[in-house]
Amino acid sequence: MKLGNNISAIVAGGATGLGAATAEKLAEAGCKVAILDMYRDPGEALAKKIGGIYCHLEISSEITVDTAIDFAREEHGTERLLINCAGVALDQPAVWRDKDSGKIVLHDVASFERLLQVNLTGTFYMTTKSAAAMMELPPLENGIRGVIINSASVAAEDGLEGQAAYAASEGGVLALTRPLARDLVNEGIRIVTIMAGRYDTAMFTERSVDVTQRVGTTEKAPSGLADPREFADTVRKVVEDDDINGQWVRLSGAKSK
């Protein structure tokens, strides 16, 4: 798909981190960008900077998903691109022994369900609702109607200790990729998942100091964390290559942890 001012793009989770870098990259290419995110202040600021629009989004709520998408379409028309970067992370062992009391503790169910609702169900909401609208659009060159890129963590394949719940939610996103692509291939809609490794984003650096130090020191210099703009570069490459479909791209520098 060729990018330009005829392309409307929605970036869910576009106010910060990987989503923000992607929103900027798509705006640089001339796209009309809508930032959908729960964080209003950075979302509005970035939208103003790139000439896009912002709408509040709680991705775990189907009602707010519908409201946010409808607003974006009223302003920019139906999206040809959907980039799903909204998500939450948590580092908590599935079962562990408390160091002080020796008591055996289980992962709380509410946190597990929250991860699934945001990372997996929210991604499913956005993807299916966007695909349904794309199916109504006339095809562009090569018969492509739209492209949907979902982000996941490398934890989907290589979860660390303490990431059972997080890995399960991200693994679900990964598992959606090929069946969704097969459902939509005859409609000219491509589905790709990008698995991100250790990126310099608030979601990563605000997690436990132990996890950040453990993986950060094994990654490339100087900070041990990759630049979110590298993720955005990959998004653009995937969008512009119509042969990439039903695949997942791993951005981890070939590191397993």
Q: What region does 53 belong to: left with phi over 0, alpha with psi -120 to 50, or beta?
A: beta
Q: What is the mean pLDDT of the chain?
A: 89
Distance (Å, whole) CA 237 – CA 111 = 35
pLDDT digits (tens, 9 = 90+) for 11-67: 999 999 999 999 999 999 999 999 999 999 999 999 999 999 999 999 999 999 999
Which range in 101-115, 147-161, 176-190, 208-222 is most confidently predicted, on average pLDDT? 176-190
Among all residues, which ones are annotated catalytic? 166
Distance (Å, whole) CA 117 – CA 244 = 28
pLDDT for res 104: 96
204 has pLDDT over 60? no
pTM, to two decimals: 0.88
pLDDT for res 56: 97
DSSP conformational letter for 118 = I
For 234, half-sphere exposure in the C-beta direction (CA atoms, 13 angstrom radius) is 22
pLDDT for res 205: 45
Strands (E) in 28-115, as ranges, are: 32-37, 53-56, 81-84, 95-97, 104-106
pLDDT digits (tens, 9 = 90+) for 65-103: 999 999 999 999 999 999 999 999 899 999 999 999 999
Q: Could you report how far apart the first and last alpha carbons of the chain are, in Å?
A: 34
CB 255 within 8 A of CB 196: no
Distance (Å, whole) CA 34 – CA 51 = 9
Q: How many helices (H) and strands (E) does the chain have?
A: 10, 9
Domains detected in the chain: 8-250 (3.40.50.720)
For 110, half-sphere exposure in the C-beta direction (CA atoms, 13 angstrom radius) is 0
| Nearest partner of 208 among 179, 250, 166, 148, judged by Cα | 166
Distance (Å, whole) CA 156 – CA 173 = 8
- Element at 250 (helix H, strand E): strand 247-251
Cα-Cα-Cα-Cα dihedral of 165, 170, 175, 181, to 10°?
Answer: 160
pLDDT for res 224: 61
pLDDT for res 160: 87
Q: Which residues pair with 189 in a beta bridge?
A: 146
